[in-house]
Amino acid sequence: MYNTFFRGKLILLAVAFWLGIMEFFRLIFLYIYAADFAKASLAHTLYSLVMAVHIDVSTLGYFCLPLCIMLLVSLFLSSKTTLLMVKWYVGIITAIYSFVCIAETQLYADWGTKLNYKAAMYILQPQEVLLTAGYINVTLGLLAVIGFVTLTMYVFNILVTKFVLPPASIKPTTKYKITSSTMLILATGISIVAIRGGVQEIPIQSGISYYSSYNTLNNAAVNPLWNVVHSIIENHTYLNTNPYEVMPNAEAERLVTQLYTTHTDSGLQVLTTTRPNIVLFLLESMSADVVLACGGDSGYTPNLQRLMQQGITFNNIYATGARSDEGIAGALGGFPDQPETSIITQPSKYPHVPCIAKDLKAQGYYTAFYFGGQLEYENIKSYLVYNGFDKLVEVDDFDNVPQGKLGAHDEYVTARMLTDVNSMKQPFLSCLFTTSTHPPYDIPPFHTIKYGTDYDEYLNAVRYSDSCIGNFITQAQTQAWYANTLFIIVADHSKRTHKQHPWESPADKHIPLAMFGNVINKKYRGTVITQLGSQTDLSKTLLTQLNINNTHYTWGKNLLNPRSTNFAFYSGTSGYGWLSTKDTFNYNYSTKTITTNKIHSTNKDSVLHTSQAYMQVLFKRYLEY
């Protein structure tokens, strides 16, 4: 009888073979860089192998998809030809994977990051590689790849002969072909599911493997080949050039430096203490249109309105981007969004981007982040883990509460944070990222109102989220920690509302930002700050109040210093928006035209030139990081 499971066994053997290679190189990497996590326990170190499973399975999906298709085609070929094809394919994949792993292991000592698109471009320049790494290291690396592939393929051939090889003299039957085809089609489907990390709404991201405060352990858990391929895909358009370069870099740098230069930083000191607890509410898709204190309509956010009247409202703030990852990078890291790219999706760039959590931890703060959804979305989790958050709470941590499609509802997340904060080490930074104002707005039973617009679901979700924050504050006021706590609310980005502002217009990007709490000096409560700004200014403004060094937040300004340059920048799909005291406009690089044109300065070209310099230097930094 012909070996019915010949092709199935080939797939299983290849998977086991590749998985063994992945773990081999991971253990080598951990051994070489053990000094980076010398204080970690053995269990914590080995957990890197467990956290690696998700992305390793995704990588195996990529490997197996062509293999399944190849084996389907080979149903019309002899077993000898099939084996030859499979061996060549396995050998090529093994060679590529080995090359990437060995290169990463060698370069990690100097770079401290995983191989990424920048490294790929570097490796494609042989002369520079030879000059930098040295002929001996390059030669040894290549010999290691050749030797490893030769040895492992020898082992693979032995395993094929022992466990897979079919009787060559017997021809496959029609029944066999039908059975094998069905099995291979099923395997193809499984490979596709594995590639995206499952059937969940959000495809797999590298953040799913992040678990440790030792970043080398996180890097070990992320599959090297998967990481470099995803990095290239993310950045393929910009591998070599800055598409926003329109002037000499020296001139652009000078103009940007002028924007952030103030002769004094003696702005308002609004806090009564320099070490308050901090509760930061990141509001999903919260437009200024629904916040009365920011010029929006009344009735949607009565709790926010009440709280903002008791604190300091910044009513001229604009979202740096249009997605959550972009807003979080802006609010926590002070880094502006760029068209078509996102720095949070690039773990190799994290060392160059500050984070307020890291700076506060250095001052003795305990840090926590709460979210009812999946933190793997757009690599947010990896960014938070890298920056040392002591506690992360997400959808998987809510077992026995009603959930919507995106995860736990806001009322349960705020309740969980309140419970935790009541026993949290002080001072603390506790961040809560809401979910209910994100589609599909499947909030729990709530007193909904029919406004008669196409945006009723969003508006009712806003009211629900507002009520959750209001309830949190009401209960927090009875706790001892409340008196020494600063509360901050800021949106991650805006959203089109019932007012239907033109896409990417300033009104479309307008968001709320406010601070309140007993730690705000009474004489400043009820103050409205009209300074133009963005979430990118929040970290610098806050750290200035806390008297903590913030010079590394080079893309932010102190919103409480009236001498700060009055401007705001936000990115768009093909360009950016710019606001200053006199001017408001959008610039489109694709058409090289100005839209939403409200330039009132006498020198229009100078204003445009400055904004273009900002975009040029911003993306130059992104490429350099």
- The confidence score (pLDDT) of residue 458 equals 93
Place of tokens 């080598």: 28
Alpha carbons 324 and 321: distance in angstroms, whole number: 8
Cβ atoms of 343 and 349 within 8 Å: the answer is: yes
> Which residues contact residue 178 at a Cβ distance below 8 angstroms, ignoring those fewer than 6 apart?
none
- The confidence score (pLDDT) of residue 2 equals 45
Cβ atoms of 422 and 480 within 8 Å: the answer is: no
- The confidence score (pLDDT) of residue 109 equals 74
Place of tokens 């200024």: 288
Question: What's the number of CA atoms in the CB half-sphere (13 Å) around residue 377?
Answer: 19
Of 382, 348, 459, the residue nearest 111 (C-alpha): 348
Over pLDDT 70: what percentage of the chain?
Answer: 93
Residue 1 — pLDDT band, cuts 50, 70, 90? very low
Cβ atoms of 424 and 412 within 8 Å: the answer is: no
Q: Average of pLDDT values for 236-245?
A: 77
Cβ atoms of 29 and 220 within 8 Å: the answer is: yes
Alpha carbons 30 and 517: distance in angstroms, whole number: 46
Residue 610 to residues 58, 314, 450, 600: CA-CA distances in angstroms? Answer: 44, 25, 46, 15
Q: Average of pLDDT values for 344-365?
A: 93
DSSP notation for 336-352: --BTTB-GGG-GGGGGG
Cβ atoms of 13 and 159 within 8 Å: the answer is: yes
Alpha carbons 58 and 37: distance in angstroms, whole number: 27
Of 4, 43, 3, 49, the residue nearest 27 (C-alpha): 49
Q: Average of pLDDT values for 120-140?
A: 65
Q: Average of pLDDT values for 120-138?
A: 63
Domains present along the chain, CATH in parentheses: 6-237 (no CATH), 241-256+272-624 (3.40.720.10)
Q: Which of 92-106, 231-245, 490-504, 542-556 has the highest mean pLDDT?
A: 542-556
Alpha carbons 347 and 152: distance in angstroms, whole number: 31
Alpha carbons 616 and 256: distance in angstroms, whole number: 10
Of 67, 89, 87, 70, the residue nearest 191 (C-alpha): 67
Stretch among 202-211, 267-276, 609-618 having the lowest mean pLDDT: 202-211
- The confidence score (pLDDT) of residue 181 equals 81
Write a three-state SS string for 15-59.
HHHHHHHHHHHHHHHHHHCHHHHCCCCHHHHHHHHHHCHHHHHHH
Cβ atoms of 407 and 335 within 8 Å: the answer is: no
Q: Average of pLDDT values for 205-229?
A: 89
Q: Average of pLDDT values for 361-378?
A: 93
Note the pTM of the prediction, 2 decimals: 0.80
Cβ atoms of 98 and 145 within 8 Å: the answer is: yes
Over pLDDT 90: what percentage of the chain?
Answer: 63
| Cα angle value 559/258/260 (rounded, 5°) | 25
Q: What are phi and psi of 534, to 5 degrees?
A: -145, 175
Count the Cβ atoms, other than its own, within 10 Å of residue 619.
22
- Pairing assessment for the beta strands 366-371 and 485-491 based on DSSP bridges: unpaired
DSSP 3-state of 315: strand
Asked whether residue 439 carries a pLDDT value surpassing 70, the answer given is: yes
Residue 65 to residues 89, 193, 195: CA-CA distances in angstroms? Answer: 12, 10, 9
Asked whether residue 592 carries a pLDDT value surpassing 50, the answer given is: yes
Residue 379 — pLDDT band, cuts 50, 70, 90? confident
Residue 73 — pLDDT band, cuts 50, 70, 90? confident
Q: Average of pLDDT values for 295-313?
A: 96
Asked whether residue 169 carries a pLDDT value surpassing 60, the answer given is: no
Stretch among 78-87, 328-337, 563-572 having the lowest mean pLDDT: 78-87
